[in-house]
């Protein structure tokens, strides 16, 4: 075993809150008279809140000052937090608990590198907050994905070199961030989109056996 930490994204990897994000962004866009649909929402995958807001506002012919942008971001986040209040362990994606068990059994540290500032509330609702050895504070990270900052933050917190860690992501921007950090990457989803990943799985159901174990054997 040559890696010492596994760093997970949250949305689309551990749970799927993308639909809740879509509903909250859609409500905001509708209120502003800006067209926004599920295809547009794919562009926001793995992207931070303000960057997502800027993507939506760029589709309008209006100009939004900093104060207005801040208010809109808060409005969206408040709506999203209301939507996720009912999240529970039943919302964990298949294979995640097995992956955590696999890592724990080998003494591999588990970190969370989510662009969501609501990540602590989400993992608490999922009942897995205690499974992480470190959770990055997205609000304190200078640059969002695809910059490597959040993955490097987790590695630094563990005191490990980047090459001692692997990352698990479902978004192209996230995979780019992992590779830019100097880590190996497991992509969850479409291999034609997650081209930079060292290994791509269609879903998380066999992450431990077909992902984590495979990369361990290759190292």
Annotated binding site for substrate: 9-11, 25, 44-49, 52, 76, 114-118, 145
Q: What are 129's two structure tokens?
A: 């907050």
Which of 9, 30, 39, 40 is the catalytic position?
9
CA atoms within 13 A on the CB side of 38: 3
Helix (H) or strand (E) holding 177: helix 172-180
The partner residues of 8 in beta bridges, in order of sequence, read 112, 168
Q: Are 9 and 204 in contact (CB under 8 A)?
A: no
Residue 103's nearest CA partner among 91, 111, 114, 115 is: 111
Place of tokens 């801040």: 70
* Residues 6+ away with beta carbon under 8 Å from 207: 95, 96, 98, 99, 168, 186, 188, 201
Known binding-site residue numbers? 9-11, 25, 44-49, 52, 76, 114-118, 145, 169-170
Which of 11, 61, 149, 153 is the catalytic position?
11
CA atoms within 13 A on the CB side of 88: 2
d(CA 32, CA 28) in angstroms, rounded, equals: 6
d(CA 212, CA 193) in angstroms, rounded, equals: 20
Active site residue 11: yes
Known binding-site residue numbers for Mg(2+)? 9, 11, 169-170
* Cβ neighbours, 10 Å, residue 153: 21
Q: Which residues are catalytic?
A: 9, 11
């Amino acid at each position: 075993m040559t890696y010492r930490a596994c760093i997970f994204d949250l949305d689309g990897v551990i749970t799927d809150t993308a639909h809740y994000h879509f509903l909250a962004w859609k409500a905001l866009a509708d209120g502003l008279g800006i067209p926004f649909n599920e295809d547009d929402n794919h562009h926001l995958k793995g992207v931070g809140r303000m960057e997502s807001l800027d993507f939506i506002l760029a589709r309008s012919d209006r100009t939004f000052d900093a104060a207005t942008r801040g208010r809109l971001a808060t409005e969206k986040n408040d709506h999203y937090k209301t939507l996720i209040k009912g999240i529970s362990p039943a919302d964990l994606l298949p294979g995640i608990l097995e992956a955590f068990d696999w890592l724990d059994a080998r003494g591999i540290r588990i970190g969370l590198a989510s662009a969501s500032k609501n990540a602590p509330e989400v993992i608490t609702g999922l009942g897995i907050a205690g499974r992480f050895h470190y959770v990055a504070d997205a609000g304190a990270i200078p640059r969002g994905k695809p910059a490597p900052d959040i993955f490097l933050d987790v590695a630094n917190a563990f005191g490990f070199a980047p090459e001692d860690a692997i990352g698990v992501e479902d978004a192209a921007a996230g995979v780019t961030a992992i590779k830019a950090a100097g880590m190996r990457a497991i992509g969850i989803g479409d291999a034609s989109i997650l081209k930079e990943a060292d290994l791509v799985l269609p879903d998380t159901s066999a992450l431990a056996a077909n992902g984590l174990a495979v990369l361990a054997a290759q190292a």
